[in-house]
Amino acid sequence: MRNLRTLLALGFALSLGACEFNSPAIPAAILPANGSTQEVNASAVAPTPLTVRVIDHNQDEMDGVTVNWVVRKGNGTVSAASTTTDDNGLSSVTFTAGSTLGLNEVTAEVPGLGAVSFSITVK
């Protein structure tokens, strides 16, 4: 009886090795892709869009993920409060500087993953 249980357990374990488990991709990281540090004149649009990349645990790009954008410091504005990643896992906004000179900070966040910060100096 003991040999039969061992054989059954071994057979079950080997059959699992041949199975492929496909679970839906889950966002694992938000990374800065472009525009993270730049300078812009007062009341002007930053030359480079603020862009993030969202990937899953396999480092594959994730499309359809919502990214929330917030100006944390300064009086500039972003073109959208939230955006969605494209087929390449990228999502962008444009930054328009306010009239106050100095450092502006924008964050891009995917709930549950954390945030990426962008620093824009208004001169």
In a domain, 4, yes or no: no
pLDDT at residue number 21:
46
Is residue 71 within 8 A of residue 104, CB to CB? The reply is: yes
Residue 16, pLDDT above cutoff 50: no
- Counted domains in the chain: 1
Report the share of the chain in percent with pLDDT over 90: 79
Task: Report which DSSP code applies to 8.
Answer: H
Task: Reply yes or no on whether the pLDDT at 11 is more than 80.
Answer: no
85 in a domain, yes or no? yes
Nearest CA to 50 out of 97, 118, 98, 103 is that of: 118
- CB count in 10 Å sphere of residue 3: 7
Q: Is residue 98 part of a domain?
A: yes
| Predicted confidence (pLDDT) at residue 8 exceeds the cutoff of 70 | no
- Report yes or no on 1 lying in a domain: no
Q: Determine the pLDDT at residue 73.
A: 97
Is residue 61 assigned to a domain? yes
Residue range(s) defining the domain that contains residue 64: 23-122
If you ran DSSP here, which 8-state letter would residue 64 be given? S
| Residue 37: Cβ within 10 Å count | 11
pLDDT at 1 over 90: no
**What is the pLDDT at residue 25?**
80
95 located within any domain: yes
pLDDT at 4: 52
Distance in angstroms (rounded) separating the CA atoms of residues 118 and 40: 13
34 within some domain: yes
Mean pLDDT, rounded, for 52-79: 97
CATH, residue 50: 2.60.40.10
Average pLDDT, rounded, for the chain: 87
pLDDT reading at 116 higher than 50? yes
Q: 77-105: per-residue pLDDT in tens? A: 999 999 999 999 999 999 999 999 999 99
CA atoms within 13 A on the CB side of 67: 33
> Is 80 part of a structural domain of the chain?
yes
